[in-house]
Amino acid sequence: MVHLRIVAPPDAAAKALELLEASDSVSSVIYLPGAANKPKGDVIMCDVAREDTSVILSDLRELDIPKHGSIALEVIDSELSEASTRAEQAAGGLPSDAVVWEEVEARTSEDTELSFSFVAFMVLSMLIAMAGIMLDQTILIIGAMVVGPEFGPIAGFCVAAVQRRGDLARRSVLALAVGFPVGIATTFVVALAIKQVGLTPDTFEDGARSFTAFISHPDFFSVFVAFIAGTAGVLSLTSAKSAALVGVVISVTTIPAAANVGVAAAYGDWDECAGALAQLGLNLGTIGLAGALTLYLQRMLYVRRRKRHLLDPARAAAGLPLGRSARGTLTLDTREIEAARRRKPPG
């Protein structure tokens, strides 16, 4: 379940209250008239089945509540309530598979900011990878993958591509376009300094890199793993199973490949540098493609749920039109209306 705290002017709050009380996937509705001071208005709290959270939020947006008030979301870890159980059953589907798109947007918007900490983590992760490459130590390569923050902007770009959000796409591309060059340049300078002072490990000079040679030699499995990792990464981002994201970042070699570009350039090994660049490009492109395809399929499922919800009588209780959104962004034709009415609720 997801807990909502809604602040709205009295007129909008009255409509929202009608909507929430009439919706089968909402429970534990609390109404506090005049409880909000900034902005002035009423406060409504309720619990919504995760599967229907985004469609309910879309209805609240049609009432212009975010414009004149606010809506806060909080995921409920545990709740003992038969009413909540009935609400989840009415929503249909599985909570672990449900996507709360507003939650995804908030996560990716935060992760795509070109901040000092983002650039610092990019630099630090590549320096760890540089040490792993020189020492031929996979544990350091894994550590660099975990520290690297690059999946956030990649996921942000996928969300932007599916939702056609130019602002998010620009922020994501800017973060990657700055973070990777700064990290590679720093790695180049540090590797060059190590070379000049004679601290290069003997094993690196001999070219004995049996454990880390894969970083600059892309092949079929490089693409295969990147595609699977991109799919898993987006699924972990959009579902309740976000802990899987740690495994995703360990499975791709974007940070090590970028670090290897700087190391190879410092030592004048241009074939190695070209191979690392190819590995980096393949990883970024494949992860982005897999992530966008996964999000597109999830978005299609959400649109189907949203269209079905447009015929929910709860919308009429709130004064919202049936069969179309109030803003005209989604409208059912006659065939879709008849199909939706014949279709049984999921689950």
- Per-residue pLDDT of 271-315, as tens digits, reads 999 999 999 999 999 999 999 999 999 999 998 888 888 888 899
Mean pLDDT over residues 108-127, rounded?
90
The three-point CA angle 318-321-323 to 5° equals: 130
Query: pLDDT at position 341, please?
Result: 57
| Nearest C-alpha neighbor of 140 from the set 201, 79, 195, 99 | 201
Please, which pLDDT band fits residue 13 given cuts at 50, 70 and 90?
very high
183-195 pLDDT tens trace: 999 999 999 999 9
What torsion do the CA atoms of 48, 51, 53, 58 make, to the nearest 10 degrees?
-140
In a 10 Å sphere around its CB, with 0-12 CB exposed, 13-18 middle and 19+ buried, how is residue 61 labelled? middle
Does residue 152 surpass a pLDDT of 60?
yes
- 345's CB contacts (< 8 A; 6+ apart) are 90, 92, 308
Q: What is the pLDDT of residue 208?
A: 67
b (16+ CB within 10 A) / e for 238-267 = bbbeeeebeebbeebbbbbbbbbbbbbbbb
Non-local (6+) Cβ contacts of 24 within 8 A are: 86, 87, 90, 91, 314
Amino acid letter for position 50: R
Asked if 128 and 264 touch (Cβ cutoff 8 Å), the reply is no
When the pLDDT of each residue in the chain is averaged and rounded to a whole number, the result is 88
From the list 75, 92, 273, 283, the residue with the least C-alpha distance to 188 is 273
Tell me 164's DSSP state. T
Asked whether 81 and 119 are in contact (CB, 8 A), the reply is no
Mind listing the pLDDT tens digit for each residue in 227-280?
998 898 888 888 765 544 555 565 568 999 999 999 999 999 999 999 999 999
